[in-house]
Amino acid sequence: MWKKYHENRKVRKLELLAKRKEMGFFREYFELITETLIYVFFVMTFLLQSFVIPTGSMENNLLIGDHLLVDKISYSRSISPIDRLVFPQKKIRRGMIVTFKSPAEMEKEYVKRVIGEPGDRIRIEDKKVYINGKLLVEHYTYFKDKNILRGQRDNMEEYIVPENSYFCMGDNRDNSYDSRFWGPVPADYIIGKPWRVYWSFSSTSDEYLTPGFLHKVKDLFKTVTNFFSKTRWQRTGKKIE
């Protein structure tokens, strides 16, 4: 009888130890998931942001369907001097690509290239850009037809960029809604610096800009079914310059 009692007690101890071990495993797993979610939340809130290119305004540098990681620290004007020691800052210069809140539509975010800095005198003549009276050499521009001129888009009288503002344009000058139409971008509107392409999916503007829940569902299904065939694998990890 005593032997059976001790055997049962031993079994209960082993079961208790197994349960504690199992609970410890789930606790560690739960803590790992929680820490990961906190880290991702912190990174995506303060350091990085995801952005998808919905139009061809930055072709051929950035394509429709390019999914970008945006560095929110490089150009930030809101962090403290101490933070700047940890997160190096870059002064915004002509030729840099930036993401920003659109002055014309604040609910939208754009990706364009800085063409004019504060105080610059900028003029456009027959699609050529002149800064402070000198022709700007641009190796990144794309024109569908250089011989077709369309008013404000391709010719603009001299304009002085205001202080704390930037004149931004798309690389695809024939298909970009930018500072030529709605004016300069205030420095406070700038979100960050596009860093790299983390995924690129061959798409059209309609797939991203068409409103409606049903369209979003159809688009998601199309993306899943064509993930491998339409992913531009060669653009994965591309550095944005």
Q: Domain span at residue 97?
A: 53-235
Mean pLDDT of the 113-129 span: 96
Q: Are residues 61 and 95 in the same domain?
A: yes
Residue 240 lies in a domain: no
Give the model's pLDDT for residue 25. Answer: 47
What tokens appear for 106 in the block? 């604040």
Q: Are residues 82 and 21 in the same domain?
A: no
Residue 216 lies in a domain: yes
Active site residues: 57, 112
Identify any residues that bridge with 200 across adjacent strands, giving them in sequence order: 66
Mean pLDDT of the 46-54 span: 81
> Residue 147: how many CA atoms within 13 Å on its side-chain side?
0
Query: Which of 171, 190, 197 has the alpha carbon at shortest distance from 99?
Result: 190
Cα 180 to the center of its chain, rounded Å: 22
Q: Are residues 117 and 32 in the same domain?
A: no
Give the model's pLDDT for residue 146. Answer: 72
Q: Are residues 29 and 129 in the same domain?
A: no
* Coil/strand/helix, residue 44: helix
Q: Are residues 31 and 9 in the same domain?
A: yes
Distance CA 78, CA 163 (A): 18
CB atoms within 10 A of CB 231: 16
Q: Are residues 24 and 57 in the same domain?
A: no
Q: Are residues 29 and 116 in the same domain?
A: no
Minimum mean pLDDT among 17-26, 73-82, 122-131, 186-195: which range? 17-26
**Confidence band for 54, pLDDT divided at 50, 70 and 90:** very high
Number of folded domains that form the chain: 2
pLDDT tens track for 8-39: 555 565 555 555 555 554 555 444 444 444 43
pLDDT tens track for 133-164: 999 999 999 988 777 777 778 999 999 999 99
Mean pLDDT of the 168-193 span: 94
CB atoms within 10 A of CB 110: 25
Question: Phi, psi (5° rounding) for residue 67?
Answer: -105, 120
Q: Which residues contact 211 (CB under 8 A, 6 or more apart)?
A: none
Q: Are residues 43 and 59 in the same domain?
A: no
Residue 85 lies in a domain: yes
Residue at which a domain ends, from 31, 47, 63: 47
Give the model's pLDDT for residue 63. Answer: 96
Element (H, E) at 52: strand 48-52
User: Which residue type does 144 have?
Assistant: K
Instruction: Tell me if 156 sits within 8 A of 124, measured CB to CB.
Output: yes
Residue 241 lies in a domain: no
Q: Are residues 102 and 17 in the same domain?
A: no
Identify the residue with better confidence: 82 or 236: 236
Identify the residue with better confidence: 18 or 5: 18
Mean pLDDT of the 62-88 span: 75
User: Which residue type does 87 have?
Assistant: F
Q: Are residues 100 and 208 in the same domain?
A: yes
Residue 9 lies in a domain: yes
Radius of gyration of the chain measured on its C-alpha atoms: 27
Q: Are residues 21 and 77 in the same domain?
A: no
Residue 93 lies in a domain: yes
Q: Are residues 7 and 108 in the same domain?
A: no
CATH of the domain at 157: 2.10.109.10
Residue at which a domain ends, from 28, 47, 66: 47
